[in-house]
Amino acid sequence: ETVKQSEPEEKSEEKAEEKAQVIIDGGQVVDSIAKALRAAGLEGTGVGVTWDRGTVRLTGSVVDSDWKASVTNVVTEIEGVETVENQLKIEPQKIPYRVLVSLAVVTDPLVTREFINRLRSDVATVIERSIGETWTTRVEINDWLLPTSVAGLDRLTAESLHSRYQDTAWDRVMLVTVSRTGARFDLAGRTVDMATRSMALPRQRTEYDRRGLAAQVGRLVRDMFSATVEITVGGAKEVEVRMRAGEFPVADPDSTQLKPGDLLEPFLRYRNRKTHQVERVQPLTWTYLKVSELKRAVARCEVATALRNPLQGGGRGVELMAAGIDPTLSSTRLTLVPRGNLSRPLIGHRVVVLSKRLTKKAASTAAPDEGIREANEEKKKRAESPPPRRLLSDRSGRVEIVVDDKLPLVWMYVMSGSSVLARVPFVPGRESETTLLLPNDSARLGVEGHVTRLEGELIETVARRAVHMALATRSAEAEPPDWVKVDSHLTAIDELPTFRIFEEQIDGIEFPAVQSAQTIGNRVAVNRIRTLCRDARALLAKHLDEAKIREFKSKIEDIRKSTPATSTPAKAKSKN
């Protein structure tokens, strides 16, 4: 028993001596940390490591909280590290993008393995010279993509590529295919953005000169890139963003991340509060940013959104980001469907495409098709703007929004009758098809139809009343007066529908329509129904004022009293 007790003590003393030897050799600890960071893909992040008696101090800049936590976790596992002082600063503007270019080339007798390796080296040189320090790039030879063409790129999904590269440190993975047909080289490329977990549409190029192939691949890779920014100051109309790697100069001016007029799409990135790992990414639909001003790593952007203040900032564990967008298609087909009934597309709805957002007054008066009611100065400005494009949804509820290079961002007004059903910004050309969910406006449309019918009946009633009043007045003022005709016209006036009758019909229309809209939670339709009915009542009160009838009857009665009692023409004729 005494021997068994002493063995653990001897082993613990040996381990303590070995640990002391490792701790004493601080250079070895730092080297181990550097190798571990490199193995974890965390090299090149600007991390500085110092060691002093078991304590490791981390300094420098990293991209985000996930990177900061990952560096800490790696360093903690190194033998000889007792405590970690993490002084890393989250400064993405000082950290280059980590970009992997995966080059898939079809081999043939003229495109040999040696040619491919030389092409890979030349492409890396072209990217380094044009992009500079903004990227940390590696060009590899892809041996798994089949077929090696744009068809193979089309088969890929964002989920499959994210699974393939999720354990790596790359921010962008750019897949490029090169195939030869005679003297022509066909190039195609597609990018996976690991930050947004999304994949862009393929881009294609053609090159006929073997000597210019590397440069053409480099330009394709440059055009495939889209910037990632962090929204630091949010607002309803304008925001401020901070660019990743924005502090680095760019060798080629055409390779700048952003320039005035560029468009970005915001998204929310949710992280686990304990591990800081990204759990999901949520795009902010129908919201875009347009770069208006640049100053090194900071840019100011105008906000175009159909939502109410979507960029007010995220909460704990939520990052408010944005990614650059660049349309590659010539048009996008937009399908209009009502919420709650996706199987019934909206047929025959007008869609007006404008270059800018209209004022609330213009929108509320259905200005896109009826002419904007504005002051002279506003009319002058509108005359200088491009003319609106008026579209009509087909039997499938679709309209085609064509890309205009001069107007990449447009405003779409979806009309329902005389009302604006939706007002949304849109960037066509980013996808072949998309869907716009709209409020179910059937209840309001029904009310509008009934109100239109009542307005027609009101016009007829007012016209008939005016005729009877005019004929009654002429008969009363005739020589001699024809009081029989006067009385018949007054009776006809009394038999016409009154304000109360019309009001009862409006009440019967409004109540069930409001209940139907409230049942599906459509508050906009409820307000519009009540507005329609309120305006209809005001119109009735204006044209069916009972006081005017009483005043007219009083006038006729005064004429009757002031006229001498004589026999009517009818009675005189009977005596003859």
User: Do you find a cis peptide bond into 147, omega within 30 degrees of 0?
Assistant: yes
Is there a single domain that holds both residue 259 and residue 364?
Answer: no
H helix intervals, 225-271: none
Q: Residue 276 in 3-state DSSP?
A: coil
Distance, C-alpha 32 to centroid of its chain = 47
H helix intervals, 25-88: 26-39, 65-76
Q: Residue 265 in 3-state DSSP?
A: strand
How many residues make up the chain in this entry?
576
Say which CATH number the domain at 53 has: 3.30.1340.30
Report d(CA 439, CA 416) in Å as an integer: 10
Q: Residue 479 in 3-state DSSP?
A: coil
Contact 105, 145 (CB under 8 A): no
Is there a single domain that holds both residue 527 and residue 548?
Answer: yes
Q: What six digits make up the tokens of 330?
A: 């010539």
Residue 21 pLDDT: 44
Is there a single domain that holds both residue 135 and residue 54?
Answer: no
Is there a single domain that holds both residue 260 and residue 292?
Answer: yes
Among 325, 351, 366, residue at a domain's last position = 325
Is there a single domain that holds both residue 102 and residue 40?
Answer: no
pLDDT per residue, tens digit, the chain (576 aa), is 333 334 445 545 454 444 444 344 568 888 888 888 877 767 555 678 888 888 889 888 888 777 788 888 888 888 888 899 988 888 888 889 999 999 999 999 989 999 999 999 999 999 999 998 899 999 999 999 999 999 999 999 999 998 899 888 899 999 999 999 999 999 999 999 988 888 999 999 999 999 999 999 999 999 999 999 999 887 888 999 999 999 888 888 888 999 999 999 999 988 887 777 788 888 999 999 999 999 989 999 999 999 888 887 666 778 899 999 988 899 999 999 988 778 889 999 999 998 888 765 555 444 444 444 445 665 665 566 778 899 999 999 999 999 998 899 999 999 887 778 889 999 999 999 999 998 877 788 788 889 989 999 999 999 999 999 999 999 998 888 999 999 999 999 999 999 999 999 999 999 999 988 888 788 888 888 999 999 999 999 999 988 989 999 999 999 888 887 654 444 444 444
Q: At what angle do helices 546-562 and 442-476 cross, to 10 degrees?
A: 10
Among 298, 325, 352, residue at a domain's last position = 325
Is there a single domain that holds both residue 389 and residue 481?
Answer: no
Among 325, 351, 386, residue at a domain's last position = 325
Q: Which structural domain, as residue segments, surrounds residue 174?
A: 97-224
H helix intervals, 40-92: 65-76
Count of domains observed in the chain: 5
Is there a single domain that holds both residue 216 and residue 247?
Answer: no
Q: What six digits make up the tokens of 352?
A: 């007006």
Is there a single domain that holds both residue 428 and residue 462?
Answer: no
Report d(CA 145, CA 152) in Å as an integer: 7
Report d(CA 288, CA 412) in Å as an integer: 14
H helix intervals, 483-545: 483-495, 499-519, 523-543
Q: Residue 4 in 3-state DSSP?
A: helix
